[in-house]
Structure 1
Amino acid sequence: MSSLVVSDTLSPPNTHTPSAVGRARSRATSLASLRAIVALMLREMSTRYGRSPGGYVWAFVEPVGALLVMSFVFSLLIRSPSLGNSFLLFYTTGYLPFLLYSLTLTSVMHALNFSRPLLLYPAVNWIDAILARFILNTLTSVAITSIVLVGILEFTDTTAVLAVGHMVSSLALAALLGLGHGTLNCALCGLFPVYVQFWSIASRPLLIAAGVFFLYEDLPANLQNVLDWTPWIHVTAMFRQGVYPTYAPDFISLPLLMAWALVPLMFGLLLLRRHRQRILMQ
């Protein structure tokens, strides 16, 4: 009996409690996921921008060229823009937040197909592929927006009083919308390949619905009632509010924007979690 007591007394305390082990495993998993995301981002940077002459230069040239064409064409048709006196600045403030949304959505939508060979390795998770493309394209789009907007204000006669808070909020919501819609589209494209063609057709009017070419306040009441329930024109109006100090849209709804972003994101994640193996095997 005494030997048992001595043995219990001399045994070392158990320092590896279940909670400590759980925290260590969670930390190791987080670090592995972070390394995978960074590796996927570097791979995409070298694949998308490293193989073409000019690389990242084309990411800035394309939106600038589109804006110049739009400004020239509409300046021939319309005497003055709805806000200010610069067609280039007016269309820039509508096009750039929509471009961030569109690029983020398209990138996330094809995340699993792009990283399909790497997803066969246990160290790379399907959500790592989505986050890598989301982060990289969001950062790229924000850089494009900043450089293009600053360049227009610097090299033209246009002046503006910028409210950075409204602009940052608009870009953040545009990125969140792109993530939500892109994640749901990623699942639907994997489950139903014909959905790719359907989305290509259905998404074409979105540039108009976003209010790139007009103001919400200039539309008839019946069209306003329809666009009230769409998220894109809210994002565009919020960005323009940050560039034009006299513009104060009162129709912007943050709850509506969050619902449009988070509900598709939730359903997309649920579908991908349940059917990811089926999608990757196609």
Structure 2
Amino acid sequence: MSTRPLTAARETTFLEALATQARVIGALILRELHTRYGRENVGYLWMIGEPMLLATVIGSLHGASGHGNPYGGDMKPVPFAVLGYTTFILFRGIVNRAEGGVEANASLLYHKQVTVFDINLARGFLEFAGGFATFAILMSLLVLVGMADWPARPLPLLMAWFLMFWYAMGHAFLISAITYENRTVGRLVHPYSYFMVGLSGAFLPLHWLPHPYREWLAWVPLTSVFELVRYGWFQSANLDEFSGRYLIGSCMVLTWVGLVMMRRLREHIHLA
């Protein structure tokens, strides 16, 4: 008879802790919005304004340089480029913002409810919101003007975005721990994110490549993300080059290593 009250107490405690963490992350998101964008001029709208401008330029360049439909099937140049770039924006944004994130919010660690994990997760959610809004707006506009069709397989498309978020957050956990007070390594983060544009498969499906380069590039987990993204949007796309087990395994390993590194980092942060 004594186990029932004990079990109920544990469930209540867990739910209360979960609700507290949700409030903390929500507050961190609002603080990051105000700190990053402020309230002047377009304010928070710049969260999607900047990536929309970049994606529009990329799509326009592909549309101007394309002759006919070199991509085959229903993969037209402009939606192909916009789909790839808006998805890559999520990875680039989360990875780039991870560097220096702990230092910028170190004062918040005075509050015992706030952790390094919460800081990284809040910044990641903010990047996801901006990136997904950019993707949804631009792709919807392309559909409305007749330059693209609606997604052929919405569920795999959403799964691809979730996996991209997970993979990018694994990077963020690791980067925030390694670059804390290490500016030399921190300077390599931005070049790394831009270098990954060519290796990610955002603009280059694996089946276009000859052997053995196709197998070499398949070792980059991001290529599987983009294979799934294109499969979710384009009817003519397939999953011949997609490796779900390898992608999920990479996400799990990155997340585990990142969490371990962040836990060690918290032990070395001294608040004056």
Tell me, yes or no, whether TM beats 0.5. Answer: yes
* Matched residue count: 270
Q: Which residue of 2 aligns with 1:7?
A: none
Q: Which deviates further from its counterpart, 73-82 or 114-123?
A: 73-82
Residue 38 in 1 paired to residue 15 in 2? no
* Cα pair distance change 1:262/1:161, threshold 3 Å: closer
Q: Hey, what's the Cα distance between the residues in 2 that align with 1:251 and 1:215? A: 9
What is the CA-CA distance between 1:52 and the residue it aligns to? 4.4
The amino acid across from 2:55 in the alignment is: L
**Greater CA radius of gyration, 1 or 2?**
1
* Cα pair distance change 1:250/1:26, threshold 3 Å: same
Q: Which residue of 2 aligns with 1:176?
A: 166
Instruction: Give CA deviations for 1:137-178 in whole Å, capped at 9, x if unaligned.
Output: 223322222122111211344334531012101101100011
Q: Which deviates further from its counterpart, 32-41 or 271-280?
A: 271-280
Match of 1:197 among 187, 192, 197: 187
- TM-score (normalised: structure 1): 0.84
Match of 1:97 among 62, 87, 104: 87
Stretches of structure 2 that go unaligned for 5 or more consecutive residues are: none
Q: Hey, what's the Cα distance between the residues in 1 that align with 2:193 and 2:59? A: 23
- TM-score (normalised: structure 2): 0.87
Match of 1:53 among 29, 41, 54: 41
Q: Hey, what's the Cα distance between the residues in 2 that align with 1:15 and 1:223? A: 60
Match of 1:229 among 216, 219, 223: 219
The amino acid across from 2:28 in the alignment is: L
Q: Hey, what's the Cα distance between the residues in 2 that align with 1:59 and 1:155? A: 24
Contact 1:82/1:215 (CA < 8 Å) preserved in 2? Answer: no
The amino acid across from 2:259 in the alignment is: L
Contact 2:48/2:134 (CA < 8 Å) preserved in 1? Answer: yes
Stretches of structure 1 that go unaligned for 5 or more consecutive residues are: 1-12
Q: Hey, what's the Cα distance between the residues in 1 that align with 2:37 and 2:55? A: 22
What is the CA-CA distance between 1:136 and the residue it aligns to? 2.7
Match of 1:246 among 236, 239, 246: 236
Match of 2:118 among 101, 124, 128: 128
What is the CA-CA distance between 1:273 and the residue it aligns to? 0.8
Contact 1:94/1:212 (CA < 8 Å) preserved in 2? Answer: yes
Q: Which residue of 2 aligns with 1:6?
A: none
Residue 115 in 1 paired to residue 105 in 2? yes
Contact 1:189/1:196 (CA < 8 Å) preserved in 2? Answer: yes
Q: Hey, what's the Cα distance between the residues in 2 that align with 1:62 and 1:125? A: 29
Contact 2:94/2:172 (CA < 8 Å) preserved in 1? Answer: yes
Q: Which residue of 1 aligns with 2:17?
A: 29
* Cα pair distance change 1:52/1:211, threshold 3 Å: farther
Match of 1:267 among 227, 232, 257: 257
Q: Which deviates further from its counterpart, 223-232 or 127-136?
A: 127-136
The amino acid across from 1:120 in the alignment is: Y
What is the CA-CA distance between 1:76 and the residue it aligns to? 4.8
Instruction: Give CA deviations for 1:150-207 in whole Å, capped at 9, x if unaligned.
Output: 1121134433453101210110110001111111111111163321112223332211
Q: Hey, what's the Cα distance between the residues in 2 that align with 1:85 and 1:271? A: 41
Q: Hey, what's the Cα distance between the residues in 2 that align with 1:218 and 1:164? A: 24
Contact 2:110/2:271 (CA < 8 Å) preserved in 1? Answer: no
RMSD over aligned Cα, in angstroms? Answer: 2.7
Q: Hey, what's the Cα distance between the residues in 2 that align with 1:149 and 1:127? A: 32
Match of 2:247 among 233, 244, 257: 257
What is the CA-CA distance between 1:95 and the residue it aligns to? 1.2
* Cα pair distance change 1:125/1:149, threshold 3 Å: same
What is the CA-CA distance between 1:280 and the residue it aligns to? 5.7
Q: Which deviates further from its counterpart, 190-199 or 258-267?
A: 190-199
Q: Which residue of 1 aligns with 2:203?
A: 213
Contact 1:134/1:179 (CA < 8 Å) preserved in 2? Answer: yes
Name the SS for the 2:43 alignment partner: coil
Q: Hey, what's the Cα distance between the residues in 2 that align with 1:152 and 1:160? A: 9
